[in-house]
Amino acid sequence: MTTDTYTVTIDSLSYGGRGVGRRKDGKIVFVPMVLPGETVCVRTDRERPSYCSADLVEVLERSPERIDPECGIFSVCGGCDWQHMSYPAQVYWKDAILKSEIARGEDSGTFQQQSPFPSGRIYGYRGHAILQCGCKPGLRLGFFRKRTNSIVEFDQCPVLGSRVQEIAGGLKAILHEHPVPGISSVEIHAPQEESIILVKGEGLEKKRALSLMERLYKDLGLAGISFAVMNGRRRSDHVIGRRFCRYSLDVGGNTVELSSTFGGFIQANLEVNSALVEHVASLARGARSILDLYSGSGNFSIPLARVAEKVTAVEKSGRLVSSGRISAKKNRVDNVRFLAMDALEAARSIGHDRSDFDTVVLDPPREGAKDVSGYLPAIGPSRIIYVSCNPSTLARDVKLLREAGYALKNIRMFDMFPQTYHIESVAYLER
C-alpha cells in the first residue's frame, strides 16, 4: 500500500488540518488539502502501526464547501492550510475539533460550548509575520514550503495586513539591490501605524550590516530596526530607533494602549484579540485578586486591572515586564504589579504560601501548562480562565484541573487565524 493509489472518503478533519478517512483494510488515513464529504484518490506517504498519512492525487467528488484559493502558491506555501475551504466551514470545523478534543478528556460532558467568534477579516488581517531569507541560488525571501525548510517566494500574500505587505515588498527590493549574505530571517511587527523589524543573521560583516540597517530604517519608515547577528557562539545586537511599536485595543468601548517588542508574543489579528480580551475580562469581572501567568507585556493584565481590585502579572522576560510597567503607567493603571519570574516558579512559590488570589488567568505557549496546572489547586482560586492556542494540550490540562476539583463551565473558540487550522480558545473553570 506504500506506492499504489486508492480511494478514500473523507469523514472529518483533525487538529492539524488534515482530512480523516478509512482505507479498505480499516486503517485510518490522514490526507491534507481535502474536505469532509469528498471522495479522493490518494497515495500513501507513510505507514504507522495504527494509521497512515497519504498525499492527495485527485479529488473525485468535491465538497460544496470547496472553493478556489485566493493565493496562487497556496498548494505549496506552508503559511495557510484551508484556503480551499469556505470560511463558514472553517469556523464550523474549528469549533467541532475544539469540542472533540475537550470532550475526550471531559467525562461528564456538561460544559457549555459558546458560539464561536469569527474574524471580521478573513484576509489582510495579519499584523505580524516572520519571513525566511536565503541567498543560494540568489536572494529568496518568503515562507517555508509545506513540510520542508526550503523557501517559497511570494509577490503578494493575501493574509498579510497592508503595512506588513508593504514592508515585505520594500525589503525584497532593497535586498535585491544591496544583497547582504548571511541574513536568515526578518520578523515584522506592524499591528497598526507603527512598525518594527528584527533581522537575524550569521557571520554578517558589521559595516555592511549597519549600512543596510540605516537604509531599511529610512526607506521603510520604521519606528525601529534591530539586527541580531551570530558570529560563532557570540551574539551581537544593534538597534536603530526603538525596540517597540505602539498599538491600541478597543476593549468594551475603552481604549487600551499597549506596545509590542521582539521576544514576546503578539496576536497577529488585533480585531479578534480585542474580542478575546473583552471576553476574558467579562469572565474575571468582580475579582478581588487576579494572578495572570504568562502575561507578556500586559495584553490581558492591563485590561483586567479595570475589572478587578488588583492584578499580579507574571512574565519570564524582563524586557516584556518593563514594557508592561510602562504601558500600565500610560493607561493610568496603578493596581497591576508585573513580576519577572518563570510561570512554574511563581505557581510553585505561591502554592506553598497562603494565597489570596481568587482568580487565575493563564495564556501558555502551544505546549500548554501541565506542570503549572498541577500547582493551581494549591493556589486556591475559585475560578480559572485558561486561554489556549492548542486544543490538545488544553484538553490535557483541563482534565488535570477537573480531577483536582474544578469543573469546566464553558469554552469558546476565537478564530484568530483564518485560512489556517490554528484554534484559539478560552476555557472557564470553577472550583
Show which residues are catalytic: 389
Neighbouring C-alpha atoms within 13 Å toward the C-beta of 336 = 31
Residues in the chain: 431
**Residue reference for cell 493556589:** 379
Sequence-distant (≥ 6) Cβ neighbours of residue 162 within 8 angstroms: 124
H or E, element range at 346: helix 343-352
d(CA 27, CA 25): 6
Q: Of 68, 414, 85, which Cα lies nearest the Cα of 267?
A: 414
Report the phi/psi class of residue 221: left, alpha or beta, with left for phi > 0 and alpha for psi in -120 to 50: left
d(CA 224, CA 194): 9
Sequence-distant (≥ 6) Cβ neighbours of residue 136 within 8 angstroms: none
d(CA 398, CA 70): 37
H or E, element range at 321: helix 318-330
Phi and psi, residue 377, nearest 5°? -60, -35
User: Quick count: other Cβ atoms within 10 Å of Cβ 222?
Assistant: 23
